[in-house]
Amino acid sequence: MKERYAAFIQRVREKKPLVHHITNYVSVNDCANITLAISASPIMADALEEAADIARISSAVVLNMGTLNERTIPSMLAAGKAANQAGVPVVFDPVGAGASQLRNQTAARLLDEVKIGVLRGNISEIRFLAGRQSETKGVDASEDDLQNTEDAVTVAKTLAVRLHCVTAITGAVDIVSDGKVVVCIENGHPMLSNLTGTGCMCSSLIGSFCGAAPDATFEATVAALLSMSIAGEIAFEKAGHAGNGSFRMALHDAVSHMNAETLTGRAKIHEA
Amino acid sequence: MKERYAAFIQRVREKKPLVHHITNYVSVNDCANITLAISASPIMADALEEAADIARISSAVVLNMGTLNERTIPSMLAAGKAANQAGVPVVFDPVGAGASQLRNQTAARLLDEVKIGVLRGNISEIRFLAGRQSETKGVDASEDDLQNTEDAVTVAKTLAVRLHCVTAITGAVDIVSDGKVVVCIENGHPMLSNLTGTGCMCSSLIGSFCGAAPDATFEATVAALLSMSIAGEIAFEKAGHAGNGSFRMALHDAVSHMNAETLTGRAKIHEA
Amino acid sequence: MKERYAAFIQRVREKKPLVHHITNYVSVNDCANITLAISASPIMADALEEAADIARISSAVVLNMGTLNERTIPSMLAAGKAANQAGVPVVFDPVGAGASQLRNQTAARLLDEVKIGVLRGNISEIRFLAGRQSETKGVDASEDDLQNTEDAVTVAKTLAVRLHCVTAITGAVDIVSDGKVVVCIENGHPMLSNLTGTGCMCSSLIGSFCGAAPDATFEATVAALLSMSIAGEIAFEKAGHAGNGSFRMALHDAVSHMNAETLTGRAKIHEA
């Protein structure tokens, strides 16, 4: 099973897909660099006047509502719809869903008007979108929500069925479902939550992998999250003790060197 | 005295306060990462539609006018007022005050309509806000303004009295006053001024410390600036000679490892 | 010849020119830090209400359309025109020209209404602006366009004549022309294209050098590109094998340590 997922990284490195992002200004640089580190080509373009044009020429579109505003929300909708028409997969990262009415309404509208290919968030965000009780603390998952892995499996699967998409909940254990199968990834390192934007970077990697394999978004999503989680482990081994700055550098190093062999050798995945 | 300030870092690491930022897009990533490095939780949200909502659920609000615009100025006002109503401390970083009419008017309006808890800037910015002659060179302090430390003490104290807030002037010597006491911090390293956003990061740390200790914003501000200045010293010792990139990484490393013992052991502070 | 260009770095380190940027939110932090690394002083200010004011007090203005939008396009025009009136050199970086109608129209309008001092882009962008057939792939140069160095020399020279400016095409070989002379720089390293914003950083360095030497923008541009290309070589030697994150850190290190001696010793330049 591991080899099957690991093989996807070669497709990204060969195809170098163009990945259009409408994303937040906090982690946008990390998103661009992580996209380049996996050999894909990032473009960030959020003006309504060009969002649809850029989406159409891209291999994947990543919509991230980390610092959404009245100017970028219509751009996200336009890019998402254009991507749908062109058969380009759309990754949606509902940052902070549950934290404000604006975020809740925007997430609802995007899920309603755009066919999402992959939905990735933390457990609080995804629980909120699934209509469960959720106690969002800003843009990070709440402690309560983090406790219940069993519930996360159910939520991921249920939401995947309801939205006809792949759902991915990232955390200590990453959970990916296409509504039929649920895969749990036990790789990763707690230091990943000490850096801003590691969730956003996961979404960028998912976009990169889906852009290279639009026919297999479930497998592409698993492979993307494996890449990030295993890079987190390697980064910790190399530089984690030195502190957050060194860990961050080593994380980018590790993604840029990631290959199928490392993925296969280190992957700790199982079906739920 | 050193122990009293140093103890505040433990409160941040334990409470992990949510710190709402409306800030510039230049140093926002560094601000988020430095907030995480001190164990607080950053959220950046600048849409008017959610600025007040997010401010109310936060433990501190940081308003930074580094790249202010017509969309974010009303958001800063709304977040500041909501924070005031909710008893949430507001940190104001008047980046570039004195450099343009827009910045001057915005700073004046924020000081007029929002109760500021802590005002932090460089000597040129703070002198300008105090109504003194000031020769601002862009967003960096001018050479003339930097010469006169004695005057800086007077300006800090006078402005603290006038605005009923804590004032902090950062530079070679950091100066903090609540209008009664003035504390001078002689830690730090000149390389801090070779990186963009180290002033903004100071404001984020002040927000983090005030979010953990809203009852003691003066002590929290001193502790925050001590953390940054001492991290600058440690970063220089570890990596400064290698150049700006290495120093930056080491700075984030040092903040992530900062603790009360290091603060107490290294602090060089005295009352003016 | 090498010594003549290399001498310009000392002028930047001594004058510390204020460089106003209206640029994208992806690489803006790198642009600010690279500007500081060469000892210039960056200011990023994109509100229409202050763009002209800031341009007038600056030593150079860099207009970069990486993430242009309806709010910043008028600001770019205002800053450019104010700079023209004040005799401040304007560097234009037409990121993604050819990739969308919005970018094409904006580039045309800027070239029409603002007197550009230096135009810097990749070969696809510059070919597009020169009216040649170009196949832009997002914000990166296309493979086809990259093949033909001979053609790049012609395009650079022709466009410099037509626009009465200095043109710079960056890539494996950097090409700079003032319409009479064409200089080719064979320094650099392929890893520079694995990081986001290295082109934008080139434009920031050009702004820094032109801000220190407005009387010699051709030589300043050559010196700026030499600094970046040679920094890329040094960064690869020191840290390239470790991966993208380490290379990035080492790149900032190398620019911060760059001096005339290193430039002279390593420069591989010739006239075309």
Chain A residue with Cα closest to C31: A29
- First-to-final CA distance of chain B: 14
| C26 touching B (Cβ < 8 Å) | no
CA B83 to chain centre: 17
3-state secondary structure A92-141: EECCCCCCCHHHHHHHHHHHHHCCCCEEEECHHHHHHHCCCCCCCECCEC
d(CA C22, CA C92): 10
d(CA C272, CA C83): 32
What pLDDT is recorded for position A134? Answer: 67
Query: How many C-alpha atoms does A128 have within 13 Å on its Cβ side?
Result: 27
Provide the edge-to-edge strand list for the sheet that holds A269-271: A41-44, A18-22, A60-64, A90-93, A118-121, A166-169, A174-177, A182-185, A269-271
CB within 8 Å of B152: residues ≥ 6 apart: B123, B126, B169, B171, B173, B175
Which chains share 3+ C-beta pairs under 8 angstroms with B? Answer: A, C
Domain that holds residue C221: 2-271
What pLDDT is recorded for position A60? Answer: 98
Q: Is it the case that residue C206 has pLDDT exceeding 70?
A: yes
Give the one of C32, C53, C256 whose C-beta lies nearest to B26's C-beta. C32
Q: What average pLDDT values come out for chain A (272 residues) when binned by 10 residues?
A: 92 98 98 98 98 98 97 98 98 96 97 98 96 73 71 95 98 97 98 98 98 98 98 98 98 98 97 93
**Beta-sheet pairing, C182-185 with B18-22:** unpaired
Q: Which residues of A touch C68 (CB under 8 A)?
A: 47
Q: Is it the case that residue C147 has pLDDT exceeding 90?
A: no
In tens, the pLDDT along B220-265 reads 999 999 999 999 999 999 999 999 999 999 999 999 999 999 999 9
- Count of pairs with CB atoms under 8 A, one residue in A, one in B: 104
Element holding C211 (H helix, E strand): helix C198-212
| B190 touching C (Cβ < 8 Å) | no
What pLDDT is recorded for position C68? Answer: 97
User: Which of B228, B208, B201 lies closest to B17 in space, CA to CA?
Assistant: B208
Chain B residue with Cα closest to A139: B43
The domain total for chain B is: 1
Distances (CA, A) of A30 to A109, B33, C26, C48: 27, 12, 9, 28
CB within 8 Å of A244: residues ≥ 6 apart: A191, A194, A195, B33, B36, B37, B252, B253, B255, B256
| A172 touching C (Cβ < 8 Å) | no
What are the structure tokens assigned to A159, written together?
A: 């939401």
Q: What is the DSSP letter of C190?
A: G
CB within 8 Å of C228: residues ≥ 6 apart: C188, C192, C198, C201, C202, C205, C255
Q: What average pLDDT values come out for chain B (272 residues) when binned by 10 residues?
A: 92 98 98 98 98 98 97 98 98 96 97 98 96 73 71 95 98 97 98 98 98 98 98 98 98 98 97 92
Q: Which residues of C touch A25 (CB under 8 A)?
A: 25
Element holding B31 (H helix, E strand): helix B28-37
Q: What is the DSSP letter of C59?
A: S
d(CA A123, CA A199): 11
Q: Do B244 and C256 touch (CB under 8 A)?
A: yes
| B49 touching A (Cβ < 8 Å) | yes
Query: What's the complex ipTM?
Result: 0.95
Q: Is it the case that residue C252 has pLDDT exceeding 70?
A: yes
In tens, the pLDDT along C23-66 reads 999 999 999 999 999 999 999 999 999 999 999 999 999 999 99
Q: Do C101 and A53 touch (CB under 8 A)?
A: yes
What pLDDT is recorded for position A191? Answer: 98
Interface mutation vs chain A, best among B26, B41, B49, most A CBs within 10 Å: B49
In tens, the pLDDT along C79-135 reads 999 999 999 999 999 999 999 999 999 999 999 999 999 999 999 999 999 998 666
- Is the CB of residue A265 less than 8 Å from the CB of residue A259? no
d(CA B136, CA B126): 10
Q: Do A26 and B32 touch (CB under 8 A)?
A: yes
d(CA B58, CA A232): 29
d(CA B133, CA B125): 10
Domain of B186, CATH number, reads 3.40.1190.20
In tens, the pLDDT along C211-228 reads 999 999 999 999 999 999
Q: Do A47 and C24 touch (CB under 8 A)?
A: no
What pLDDT is recorded for position B134? Answer: 67
Which chains share 3+ C-beta pairs under 8 angstroms with C? Answer: A, B
Q: What is the DSSP letter of C67?
A: T
DSSP C224-244: HHHHHHHHHHHHHHHHGGG-H
What pLDDT is recorded for position A135? Answer: 63
Handedness of CA B196, B132, B110, B170 (dihedral sign): positive
Rg of the Cα atoms in chain B: 17
What are the structure tokens assigned to B166, written together?
A: 């804590």
**Beta-sheet pairing, C60-64 with B182-185:** unpaired
Element holding C167 (H helix, E strand): strand C166-169
Measured CA angle at A70 (ends A81, C42), to 5 deg = 110
